[in-house]
Amino acid sequence: MTTSTDLHVSSRPSDAPSRAVRAWRAYGVARGLPDGVRDPGFRALVQQIDGSPVHVSPPVRLLADGEAAFARMRQAIATAREEVLVETYILRDDRLGVSVQQALIDAVGRGVRVCVLADAVGSLATRDDFWSTLESGGVVVRQFHRFWHHPFDALRRDHRKLLVIDRTVGFTGGMNIGEEYGSSITRRHDAWRDTFVELRGSVVGELAAVFAEGWDRARGPVLPGLEYVSWSEGAAHTPANAQRVRHSSPSAVRALQARLQSEWQQRLGKQRDRRRGRRVRRNAEAAASDMPGVVVLDPRPGRGQREMLTVLVALAGAARERLWITTPYFAPPARALKLLASAAQRGVDVRLLLPGERTDVPLVRHAAHGAYQMLLDRGVRVFEYQRATLHAKTLVVDGYASLVGSSNLDFRSFWLNAECNVLLFDDVCGAAMERIFATDLEGSVEITSAAWRARSWPHRVLDRVARALRWAL
């Protein structure tokens, strides 16, 4: 068996994000940790895989009700004094979108810098006058990967959902900005079930850097005081030179890049891979192994995708008692299914909460159906949510390690989308996540192996076809 010694897991992060830490090796290391996700070696393993710091995490606020979540976010916008950053896949021009629009314009009226980044495909149905009203109100608006800007990147989308207030309060999760996301499932029959999380502390500065990366790609103006690596240029941008980098000649840019790379290698004591465009991660208030902590996992095309997958595999390997997953789009590779089955066969309570008939992408639901029998036969429990359209993307392991974000368990999220997730290490948060999961199960139907074998042959055929096409969904 692979041990932690094989990967040199220590109490501090490795000198560089290790691409050599392959998923199967990380799984073996996580399996060998005496205390699973609670073991200090697990945090070190995550840092070695992704290269991210573990930030100190003040108490987080889980927002599992859309109405309450957007009330909280509008309240936060109303308190902004310097800056509001909004990044979303979908920004609708419905009643909720207009309420957010007005809150942002009001913030500009108080002298706040407001930037909005929306995906050009996700927000395609939003009318032009919505954007023009924002801009006439002083909000700086950009749309990500507009076809005439990036014609060869049409499949690569910005699926992140972020709200950052004054770089001190941050929100992220799975909610887009639209009435279906911002309505309570107890009040509205067509509401969607989703989860957001409110964060404070040094991690919020990193969320701002995540925003800056997509903002730069969408040709937004430079944001002062942020360090990040340009997605388009591969150049390092710091508060002192960001404006100069964007307007210097190509030769000057190359010289500046080389100088910055040299300086950062000396200052940070680590090698950076320019091709992969890893974000600048600095000024983190490091969390000790016995303190609540949070890690940002923000894969996007060209950077961080394998690391995200490997962290998920490590979480499965580290599970000792419970591994509970909620996802609306479940079409992972076959190896991922085997890992879930392996966890169940060694006694872990593995549960999947997936969409019922109320789903916005029926074909992906059938792709998930194509994996049910194998999972059920190996002890994984599968539930389908009935109360609303399921859109939450969460995971909780042993009531301690929790993942909340925008990543689905499908090919698009793994390889084509820019995503943002937070991995939380905290007993209080983990217990709350398990309570939310248990409440969701009350509104779900469990799929049994015997009943599943009795489904109709047309259903079986569609399941097989959709499962075979999972890479294209």
Handedness of CA 330, 334, 335, 341 (dihedral sign): positive
Question: pLDDT value at position 473?
Answer: 65
Cα separation, 228 vs 277, whole angstroms: 9
Tokens of 181: 């996301």
Over range 461-473, report the average pLDDT: 83
Cα separation, 458 vs 473, whole angstroms: 20
Residues 29-64 have pLDDT tens digits of 999 999 999 999 999 999 999 988 999 999 999 999
The terminus-to-terminus CA distance of the chain in angstroms comes to: 36
Sequence-distant (6+) residues with CB within 8 A of 213 are 228, 229, 230, 231, 279, 298, 300, 418
Cα separation, 110 vs 160, whole angstroms: 27
CATH 3.30.870.10 residue spans of the chain:
4-55+295-472, 61-263
Which helix (H) or strand (E) segment holds residue 385: the answer is: strand 381-385
pTM as predicted: 0.87
Model confidence band, residue 250 (pLDDT cutoffs 50, 70, 90): very low
Question: pLDDT value at position 237?
Answer: 76
More confident residue, 18 or 177: 177
Please check whether residue 208 is in contact with residue 280, taking contact to mean a CB–CB distance below 8 angstroms. no
Residues 83-127 have pLDDT tens digits of 999 999 999 999 999 999 999 999 999 999 999 999 999 999 999
Tokens of 369: 């159906």
Please check whether residue 426 is in contact with residue 400, taking contact to mean a CB–CB distance below 8 angstroms. yes
For 137, counting Cβ atoms within 10 Å of its Cβ (0-12 exposed, 13-18 middle, 19+ buried), the class is middle
Question: What CATH class does 61-263 carry?
Answer: alpha beta
Cα separation, 326 vs 314, whole angstroms: 17
Residues 135-188 have pLDDT tens digits of 999 999 999 999 877 888 889 999 999 999 999 999 999 999 999 999 999 888
Question: pLDDT value at position 271?
Answer: 34
Q: Was domain 4-55+295-472 assigned CATH 3.30.870.10?
A: yes
Q: How large is the greatest C-alpha to C-alpha distance in the chain, in angstroms?
A: 68
Tokens of 215: 């903002």
Nearest to 169 by CA among 85, 54, 87: 85
φ, ψ of residue 225 to 5 degrees: the values are 80, 15
Q: Does the structure show a pLDDT above 60 at 274? A: no
Model confidence band, residue 428 (pLDDT cutoffs 50, 70, 90): very high
Q: Which residues of 409-422 are buried (b: 16+ CB within 10 A; e: fewer)?
A: bbbbbbebbbbbbb
